[in-house]
Amino acid sequence: MAETPRIQQARGVRLFWYTMWARAYPRLIGITREKSWLFFETVLPLMATIAYIFVYKALQAPPDYVGFVVVGGAMTAFWLNVLWSMASQLYWDKEEGNLELYILSPGPLMAILLGMAVGGVFMAAFRAVIVLTVCSLLFGVVYQTGSLLLLILIFVVTMTALYGMGMLFASVFLIGGREAWHISNLLQEPIYLVSGFYFPVKSMGFWVATFASIIPLTLGLDAIRQLLFTNDPTLGFLSVELELLILVVLAVVFIAGAAWALAKLETIGRREGRLIERRR
């Protein structure tokens, strides 16, 4: 009689890896199955970006400012993905009854959220590429960079810090309960302003720019613009090297904070049988 094959249980790094890709799979496949999002996620953001470009053209601003708007408009895709598809995700999963399954499963919450990030990055990157390509061709934006490797490094570190912040926010929003929806709405537009999505953040003054630097996109955008548009280096807030160093620190802090907060949530969920419910 043939022996029944043993099923090898994944543990440690393998479990983390499998959990991440299992959670990323629905978002990656969803790109090809839901066609309507192509219009809402690309055409409508294009209109907002083009509106800012016409404002600068009407004011006869330097050509670099058109490039600032194009790059900022492309990066809004990642901020919105973090805010709505990362930070609010655990709260939505709780409302739909999925969070209990995440807690009971052997896969770590950190891997589940990282899977959401991996799947979300592809969706956000598609929107960003469309905005960047269409606007650059329509308005003749010229890019200059002396170090492509440095540009890629800054982008990767910025995304790491940004999605680390999204993981941390996921725990905070879950604790906030129903207020998570209001917090998401509250943060969306003000971040556009203080992070300088459509203009150099330096123009808001040193202290406002310093305060806004806690959002990784603030320094990431500023560094990317300095590398892509070198006609007026005085428009940069800090040096590219210093901004990269701060981004690395932010990435470590946010990821460590997210790991601690998610571990705390798992402990509460498994030991006490509740998921951040306020006791009366």
pLDDT digit string, tens, across residues 162-192:
888 888 888 777 776 666 667 777 777 788 8
CA–CA distance, 94 with 170 (Å, rounded to integer): 11
3-state DSSP call for residue 199?
coil
Q: Which amino acid is at 11?
A: R
CA–CA distance, 220 with 214 (Å, rounded to integer): 11
pTM for the full predicted model: 0.82
Spans of the chain, pLDDT less than 50? 1, 7, 278-280
- In this predicted structure, what is the pLDDT of residue 94? 76
3-state DSSP call for residue 88?
coil
Q: Which two tokens stand for residue 125?
A: 């990157």
- In this predicted structure, what is the pLDDT of residue 171? 78
The answer to whether the CB of 170 falls within 8 A of the CB of 86 is yes
Q: Which amino acid is at 55?
A: V
CA–CA distance, 126 with 123 (Å, rounded to integer): 5
Q: Which two tokens stand for residue 8?
A: 């090898």
Got the DSSP string for 237-260? SS-HHHHHHHHHHHHHHHHHHHHH
The answer to whether the CB of 209 falls within 8 A of the CB of 85 is no
The answer to whether the CB of 201 falls within 8 A of the CB of 209 is yes
Got the DSSP string for 18-51? HHHHHHHHHHHHHHHH--HHHIIIIIHHHHHHHH
User: Tokens 């905005």 belong to which residue?
Assistant: 131
- In this predicted structure, what is the pLDDT of residue 9? 61
Q: Could you read off the pLDDT of 194-231 as tens digits, one per residue? A: 888 888 888 888 888 889 889 899 999 999 988 888 66
Residue 265's nearest CA partner among 171, 149, 187 is 171
Report how far apart, in Å, the C-alpha atoms of 219 and of each of 224, 225, 238, 255 are.
8, 10, 8, 18
> N- to C-terminal Cα distance for the chain?
60
- In this predicted structure, what is the pLDDT of residue 245? 95
User: Tokens 């798992």 belong to which residue?
Assistant: 266
